[in-house]
Amino acid sequence: MSDTVVITETKTLPYSFTLPVVGGAGAFFGLFVGTAQGSGLLGVVIGFVLCAALAWVALSLAGVKNEKGFKWGCIALFLVAGFLVGGAPGLVLGGLFGWFLGWFIYWIGRGRYRMFLPPYLTGGQVLWHYSFRVICGAIFVFLITPILVVMPLSFNAENFFTFTPEMLSFDPAGYSLRHYRDFFSSAEWQQALRNSLMIAPVATLLAVGFGTLAAIGLSQPHVPFRQAIMAILISPMIVPLIISAAGMYFFYSRIGLQGTYVGVVLAHAALGIPFVIITVTATLVGFDRSLTRAAANMGANPVTTFFRVQMPLILPGVISGGLFAFITSFDEVVVVLFVGSANQQTLPWQMFTGLREQISPTILAVATILVGISIVLLTTVELLRRRSERLRGLSPG
């Protein structure tokens, strides 16, 4: 039986607890608003006092019966305040903060934050429970914010890398698809795209083939020095990329592969093999080896056993590793700068060149397209991971 107890409603908590907590949240948001207006300290003070006062009004005057009306009033108040301070963007942010504050006041003040927590948790444990989630959320926002900034900028109607006044005021004239049209109509960008599509799939096939065979071989208990061999095979994933690129350059220049299509493909395959080995090895952990022995007893040769018995079960891991290898090859720029030539100028190489020689917002459009492709591929990887767990009985169906 689960220890979680669902509490439908509790009494109002003391103001000595509720007001400082709600005021602290207001001070946190007030810091950003005040800093944008030139005085962070003033924003902290105003945010703390305003939110604490609203919490007192909500719990003392409005009460639970008028909870919905207070929330709408809170949204309206911050919509007006946001518009006066920051115009149209401030209107949107103000409305979102008003909605959050109206919900947060009652969530804290009525003790609803304990509704889905075990009743025996101490105050410190409850604090850590939510602090951990806030920290993880802050890290996620820190990582995802650069992507969220790039994507709207790709629709800029001007040749700028910053938000124009028209964009900030949500004026349709400030937005355009011109940079996407430049990408699809430019001969240089299209050649770079063709080079990437010629290199990445072939490198992925090589990485999947060699990586899958290596993972199956290293999963056998009788293979000597398995740990050492595994460490060597996944070393391209650990060694700094600039060192790997320099080493490949000197090695390929000696054997005549530097500056050739084959050299770039082999280099990208070497970078993708560790991802295939790791994902296939993880899939093989739950593989029932009695199935291969049963197939052998029925007269199947090793090749037939692999494709008819083993491969269907480890296929999610193989495909996941292949997708990671494809992303690695498609987004890689350092190695191709060392190993490739002008004839193998890939899409990331063209972006790097564009940043150095000509600052073109088309780079933002290409970056947005690559982000979209990565999201689709990573979503596919997650779906395959869940399917693999279901096949191995590690998660409910």
Which pLDDT band, with edges at 50, 70 and 90, does 208 fall under? very high
Q: What is the pLDDT of residue 265?
A: 92
- Pick the more confident residue, 159 or 128: 128
Question: Count of domains in the chain?
Answer: 2
Confidence (pLDDT) at 395: 54
181 lies in some domain: no
Q: Torsion angle, CA of 324/329/334/336, rounded to 10 degrees?
A: 160
Q: Per residue, what are the HEC states of the chain?
A: CCCCCCCCCCCCCCHHHHHHHHHHHHHHHHHHHHHHHCCHHHHHHHHHHHHHHHHHHHHHHHCCCCHHHHHHHHHHHHHHHHHHHHHHHHHHHHHHHHHHHHHHHHHHHCCHHHCCCCCCCCHHHHHHHHHHHHHHHHHHHHHHHHHHHHHHHCCECCCCCCCCHHHHCCCHHHECCHHHHHHHHCHHHHHHHHHHHHHHHHHHHHHHHHHHHHHHHHCCCCCCCHHHHHHHHCHHHHCCHHHHHHHHHHHHHHHCCCCCHHHHHHHHHHHHHHHHHHHHHHHHCCCCCHHHHHHHHCCCCHHHHHHHHHHHHHHHHHHHHHHHHHHHHHHCCHHHHHHCCHHHCCHHHHHHHHHHHCCCCHHHHHHHHHHHHHHHHHHHHHHHHHHHHHHCCCCCC
Q: Is residue 137 part of a domain?
A: no
277 vs 218: CA distance, rounded Å: 9
User: Which of 76, 93, 120 corresponds to the end of one domain?
Assistant: 120
Q: Is residue 359 situated within a structural domain?
A: yes
My answer on whether 319 and 231 are in the same domain is: yes
**What is the reported pLDDT for 205?**
94
Q: What is the pLDDT of residue 5?
A: 38
24 pLDDT higher than 80: yes
Residues 240, 113 share a domain: no
Answer whether residue 39 shows pLDDT above 50.
yes
Domain annotation covers residue 9: no
Question: Does the pLDDT at position 256 exceed 70?
Answer: yes
- What is the tens place of the pLDDT at every residue in 175-191? 888 888 888 888 888 99
Evaluate if residue 384 carries a pLDDT over 60. Answer: yes
Q: Give the domain-ending residue among 64, 92, 120.
A: 120
The answer to whether residues 108 and 197 belong to one domain is no
**Of 92, 120, 148, the domain-final residue:** 120
Indicate whether 213 belongs to any domain: yes
Confidence category of residue 12, pLDDT binned at 50, 70, 90? low
Query: Where is pLDDT greater, at 207 or 64?
Result: 207
Does 152 fall in a domain?
Answer: no
Indicate the pLDDT class of residue 312, thresholds 50, 70 and 90. confident
At 118 the pLDDT is 86
> Are both 110 and 190 inside the same structural domain?
no
The dihedral built from the CA positions of residue 167, 171, 172 and 173, taken in this order, carries a sign that is negative
Handedness of CA 146, 152, 155, 157 (dihedral sign): negative
266 versus 59: the higher-pLDDT residue is 266
Q: In the numeric block, which tokens belong to residue 300?
A: 């199947």
Looking at residue 274, its pLDDT comes to 92
Tally the residues of the chain: 397
Examine the pLDDT at 13 and tell me if it is beyond 80: no
**Average per-residue pLDDT for the chain:** 83
Instruction: Give pLDDT tens digits for 335-362.
Output: 998 998 888 888 888 888 877 766 777 8
> Do 223 and 114 share a structural domain?
no
Amino acid 7: pLDDT: 41
Give residue-wise pLDDT tens across range 103-121: 999 888 888 888 888 888 8
Domain that includes residue 87, residue range: 15-120
200 with 108, same domain: the answer is no
Q: Tell me, yes or no, whether 291 lies in a domain.
A: yes
Residues 332, 249, single domain; the answer is yes
* 107 shares a domain with 200: no
- Provide the whole-model pTM: 0.69
The enclosing domain of 225 has a CATH number of: 1.10.3720.10
Which band of pLDDT confidence, cut at 50, 70 and 90, is reported for residue 8? very low
* Residue pair 183/362 in contact by the 8 Å Cβ criterion: yes
The answer to whether residues 351 and 210 belong to one domain is: yes
Distances (CA, A) of 324 to 47, 145, 204, 275: 45, 23, 9, 6
Does residue 2 have a pLDDT over 60?
no
Main-chain phi, psi angles of 5, to 5 degrees:
-115, 130
Query: Taking 50 as the threshold, does the pLDDT of residue 245 lie above it?
Result: yes
User: Does 150 fall in a domain?
Assistant: no
